[in-house]
Amino acid sequence: MSQGHRHEEDCCGAGPGDRVQTAVQRMKDRAMRVTAPRLRMLKVLAAARHPLSAEQIHEAAGDDQLDLVTVYRSLGAMDDAGIVQRHPLERGRSLYALVSPGHHHHHVICRRCGRIERLPGCDTSRLEAAARAKGFGDLTHVMEIYGVCPACAQPSHA
Amino acid sequence: MSQGHRHEEDCCGAGPGDRVQTAVQRMKDRAMRVTAPRLRMLKVLAAARHPLSAEQIHEAAGDDQLDLVTVYRSLGAMDDAGIVQRHPLERGRSLYALVSPGHHHHHVICRRCGRIERLPGCDTSRLEAAARAKGFGDLTHVMEIYGVCPACAQPSHA
DNA sequence: GTCCGTGCAAATCATTTGCACTTCT
DNA sequence: AGAAGTGCAAATGATTTGCACGGAC
């Protein structure tokens, strides 16, 4: 999961700082405590250009600065609060990303190297409508596309 | 990863027995061995009207008739062969279902009671096209919708 | 001062792997 | 015969929980 891309922010609007502030505000609204470990996590999440695993967040935040268990617990709380979005994926792993309202999207994940890229948009409305028609409510969805990225598809790579 | 469409009759009127036979044939084509444990699993899968967990398959096939490990290993092999479709879901669990060519679909899963219902169709073509445009190949996708089913939404149920 | 959040250790749980043995083909 | 499949035990790896302490409000 290492490649030295350095892209500040891709497209629209809010920089990392703003996103942290927004998240902090939402935590306060929810009567959640804003602690040093959580701020570290938020900074990491705000700077990330794609979803991260708990382990990656732990490491990026300085693994000696906060416990992995705390990362899991805080991510759980933030997920419940709608501050981060959890992306459950194959083999029981999950990735987490700060929620950007109005920027719902999904990803392609390379089956071999784990590289992740964002895909624009989401076509689930029809399926969600069908689910709603069956009487289901409070809908959310999980969706990831898996494939082999260009680099890994290179014959020389085999 | 190719699916050879051959009999149209499989599509519309296939009973459990037919589905087992189709799966057996595909296993033979792939030089996979058709063994007693695998036949048991196929019968269970063919009779199911929704995806099952490895544990459920193990139990339904007679937990003393085959080992849980065998269930996992065979499901893995059948998944690779495109005979069963694996539905990875939250918390590291997976469900498996016999593949019905031409009947690709997804499900709604009740977050509270685990009830599963089939939803018609799949709208991922646009996203897969986007992934392909980014150079990714050999695409597959994971997608499940989560919600609260009518029964669990009942106030009296709380 | 209260609670929520944290750290550390130990526990879970679904799934995987090593190895020797059995059984298809 | 020989490879593929199986069973049992033990390992893995991500995530979770128990409990006592510490810090945010």
Dist CA B8 CA B14 (whole Å): 10
Tokens (6 digits) for A56: 């990656």
Mean pLDDT lowest among B29-33, B55-59, B82-86, B102-106: B102-106
- Residue that wins the pLDDT comparison between B48 and A91: B48
Establish if A122 belongs to a structural domain.
yes
Q: Is the CB of B72 under 7 A from strand C?
A: yes
In a domain, B83, yes or no: yes
The shortest C-alpha distance from B155 to chain A (Å) reads 13
Q: What is the mean pLDDT of chain A?
A: 83
- Please say if the pLDDT value at position B135 is more than 50: yes
Domain that holds residue A25: 8-157
Q: Is residue B58 part of a domain?
A: yes
A127 compared with B67, residue with greater pLDDT: B67
Amino acid A39 CA to nucleotide D24 C1' distance, rounded Å: 13
- Gap from B145 CA to chain A (nearest CA, Å): 4
What CATH number is attached to the domain comprising A44?
1.10.10.10
Instruction: Summarize pLDDT for A49-64 with one digit per residue, the tens.
Output: 889 999 999 999 998 9
What value does the mean pLDDT of chain B take? 82
Helix (H, G, I), strand (E, B) or coil at B128: helix
* A140 part of a folded domain: yes
Say how far B74 CA is from D16 C1', in Å.
29
Task: State how beta strands B106-110 and A84-88 pair.
Answer: unpaired
Considering its fold, how many domains does chain B have in total?
1
Query: Would the pLDDT of B14 be above 80?
Result: no
Domain assignment of residue A89, yes or no: yes
Q: Is residue A146 domain-resident?
A: yes
**Residues from A in contact with B at Cβ < 8 Å:** 88-93, 106, 108, 110-111, 117, 119-128, 130-131, 134-150, 153
**In chain D, which nucleotides are within 7 Å of a protein Cβ?**
4-10, 13-18, 23-25
Do the Cβ atoms of B127 and A145 come within 8 Å? yes
The answer for residues whose C-beta is within 8 angstroms of residue A36's C-beta and 6 or more apart is A65, A66
Of the pLDDT bands very low, low, confident and very high (cuts 50, 70, 90), residue A47 is very high
Q: Is residue A2 part of a domain?
A: no
Q: Give the model's confidence band at A96: pLDDT under 50 very low, under 70 low, under 90 confident, else very high.
A: very high
Over residues B27-42, the mean pLDDT reads: 94
Q: Is the residue at A75 inside a domain?
A: yes
Beta-strand (E) ranges in chain A? 84-88, 94-98, 106-110, 116-119, 137-148
